[in-house]
Amino acid sequence: MQDIKHIIAVASGKGGVGKSTTAVNLALALAARGAKTGLLDADIYGPSQQTMLGVDSQVRPARAGEYMLPVEAHGLKTMSMGYLITEGTPMVWRGPMAGGALAQMLEQTLWGNLDYLIIDMPPGTGDIQLTLSQKARVSGAVIVTTPQDIALQDAKKGIEMFRKVNVPILGVVENMAVHVCSNCGHREHVFGELGGERISSDYGVPLLASLPLALSIREQTDSGRPTVVAEPDSPLAAMYLEAADAMQAALAGKSSAVVQQFPEIKVSDD
């Protein structure tokens, strides 16, 4: 971990808002900009990055003594619980066990020199989030939401959680903002309108991207070639690239030490 400059958590208050799709495309966008990038799938109970990156279900990380070597895919160094279990195996674990699994993947992977490590967080504000804040200094977090009021309520909890553990919010990504009919071009706000702008304004954080409800995004991630590599010159890929640029700008000049430093203890006779 000493060779990682910045850790970025991609999180959401609830599931089903496109967090993992956003995480993988942001990681690929950073790599496309020339940054050495890693991706850690911290969703212990529902790992999906193996499928999204097109890594065969039989692939297992190579070992180097007590450490694991990351699996490389589309130019990313990756690690996921999906690489360590068989397909369809449920993780019937209590919270501390899941936290321990995250710590092992984070600390016992030979990441090498990385400019950014993107961590695809599980939804919610539980054990995994607390474990990460204890194990590493997170440079910033990206909150993913949809415009739906229920999703926005949970996104606000995610923002407040990271603020409580002193992790700056780099911005908000709004998914499924609008549906454009492929036949007639009619635009319809299926899940509500301007939700990303509202939460961005309420908390004083940037709106990194407002992405449409697009069939191609789902098809590309399901096929193992996310949008940024499947259609690098498309308007959708440009949105992810612009979000990555904004993240890099926000982190420029910030401390690059990700290993938590314990306070110095001094003993005196006073």
Q: What is the pLDDT of residues 170-183, one digit of tens each?
A: 999 999 988 887 78
Residue 163 has φ and ψ, to the nearest 5°, of -65, -35
260 versus 199: the higher-pLDDT residue is 199
Q: Is 94 exposed, middle or buried (0-12, 13-18, 19+ CB in 10 A)?
A: exposed
pLDDT tens, residue by residue, 200-226? 999 999 999 999 999 999 999 999 999
Q: Is residue 265 part of a domain?
A: no
Starting at the edge strand that comes first in sequence, how are the strands of the sheet with 71-73 ordered?
A: 71-73, 76-80, 37-41, 114-120, 4-11, 140-145, 169-174, 207-210
Structure tokens at 245: 């640029």
Residue range 90-147, pLDDT digits in tens = 777 776 787 888 888 999 999 999 999 999 998 876 778 878 877 788 999 999 999 8
Percent of the chain past pLDDT 90, that is, above it, reads: 54
Does some domain include residue 104? yes
Pairing of the two strands 187-188 and 179-180? antiparallel
Q: How many other CB atoms sit within 10 Å of the CB of residue 3?
A: 12
Total of domains in the chain: 1
Confidence of residue 72 (pLDDT cuts 50, 70, 90): very high
Q: Is residue 75 part of a domain?
A: yes
Which three-class secondary structure state does DSSP give residue 187?
A: strand
pTM of the model: 0.89
pLDDT for position 24:
97
Of the ranges 11-20, 41-50, 181-190, 223-232, which one carries the lowest mean pLDDT score? 181-190
CB 154 within 8 A of CB 14: yes
In a domain, 129, yes or no: yes
Task: Answer whether residue 262 is part of any domain.
Answer: no
257 lies in some domain = no
| Alpha carbons within 13 A on the beta-carbon side of 73 | 25
Give the domain range for residue 136: 4-251
For the residues 41-61, what does the mean pLDDT come to?
90
Q: Is 157 helix (H, G, I), strand (E, B) or coil?
A: helix
Assess if residue 44 is contained within a domain: yes
Q: Which CATH number does the domain housing residue 188 bear?
A: 3.40.50.300
